């Protein structure tokens, strides 16, 4: 099946710093990628839809200036958590769309101290 990677898998940062998370489709091109957030023992909540070559579409309640999304190529989308705070600590998961299926990355564990 199709493979989606995320980098880094785990990151620890200080409060106030920015963190960039990469999502790559390794063996297919994806015009659309999604970014989800998952709190411990909870479900995945969609944050935004990332479209190649255009602005991301954010879900209600998600701060677009806080969570910057860039989809610069058909195989790469990045999520930058700006001025991170402890409440941003979470598991971030991306997914990429092929013609008929959504494939998920392995996730990135962000811990903000």
Partner 1 sequence: AQSVTQPDIHITVSEGASLELRCNYSYGATPYLFWYVQSPGQGLQLLLKYFSGDTLVQGIKGFEAEFKRSQSSFNLRKPSVHWSDAAEYFCAVGAGQGGKLIFGQGTELSVKP
Residues in contact with partner 1, total (CB under 8 A)?
26
- For the chain, how many helices (H) and strands (E)? 0, 11
Give CA–CA dist 103/30, Å, rounded.
10
Q: Which of 12, 16, 26, 46 binds partner 1 (CB under 8 A)?
A: 46
Give CA–CA dist 9/63, Å, rounded.
23
Query: Should residue 88 be labelled a site residue for partner 1 when binding is judged by CB under 8 A?
Result: no
Question: Which among 14-22, 62-70, 72-80, 101-109 is the span making contact with partner 1, rule CB under 8 A?
Answer: 101-109
Query: Should residue 100 be labelled a site residue for partner 1 when binding is judged by CB under 8 A?
Result: yes
């Amino acid at each position: 099946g199709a493979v989606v990677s995320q980098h880094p898998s785990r990151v620890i940062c200080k409060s106030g710093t920015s963190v960039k998370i990469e999502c790559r489709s390794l063996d297919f091109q994806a015009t659309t990628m999604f970014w989800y957030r998952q709190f411990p023992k909870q479900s995945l909540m969609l944050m935004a839809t990332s479209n190649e070559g255009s602005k991301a579409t954010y879900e209600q309640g998600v701060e677009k200036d806080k969570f910057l999304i860039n989809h610069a190529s058909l195989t790469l989308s990045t999520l930058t958590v700006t001025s991170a705070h402890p409440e941003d600590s979470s598991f971030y998961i991306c997914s990429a769309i092929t013609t008929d299926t959504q494939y998920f990355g392995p996730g990135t564990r962000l811990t903000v101290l």
